[in-house]
Amino acid sequence: MDTAEIKKRIVQGGMKFTHQRMVIYGALSLSEDHPTAERVHEKIKSANPSISLGTVYKTLDSFVNAGILQKFTDDTGIMRFDPVLETHSHLYCNDSKEFRDFKNPLLEKLLKSFFEENEIEGFEVEEVSLVIKGKTK
């Protein structure tokens, strides 16, 4: 994702465009992993030593509220950020403790049809979140 595209996303999210937001979103959009706030801070601080960890937290939170970033919490309770907005699942490696995106149209269709065809009594489904745990081989 290039500079212009990132700026567009930030502005479309209804946010002021700042240097910090540019740098932080840039670090995220490059990463295939699902970094924590601290990891994002590490990635950017050599080139941008003045951006504080507090700002990274606040900025990531603003991105989530603006809908241009997704967040989830891993098994250890630490927040993870994901710039991929489309419906997708996550692979979690029990050995390396790392996440990877898993996009599979068939699986998504399967889940979608299941919940369309099977009403859950007393509950209205809005979204489903699937984590696939196992080992990289």
User: Rg (Cα) of the chain, in Å, rounded?
Assistant: 17
Under rule CB under 8 A, residue 84 binds its own copies: no
Indicate left, alpha or beta for 104 from its phi (over 0: left) and psi (-120 to 50: alpha). Answer: beta
- Per CB under 7 A, residues contacting DNA are 11, 15-21, 36-38, 50-55, 57-59, 61-62, 77-79
Per-residue contact track with its own copies, 37 to 76, x per CB under 8 A? -----------------------------------xxxxx
Asked if 85 touches its own copies (CB under 8 A), the answer is no
Burial class (CB in 10 A: 0-12, 13-18, 19+), 24: buried
Output the smallest distance, CB 128 to DNA, in A. Answer: 23
Q: For its own copies, give the closer residue by CB, 45 or 88.
A: 88
Alpha helices in 31-66 (DSSP H): 37-45, 53-66
Among 94, 96, 103, 112, binds its own copies (CB under 8 A): 94
Residue 79 tokens, joined:
């927040």
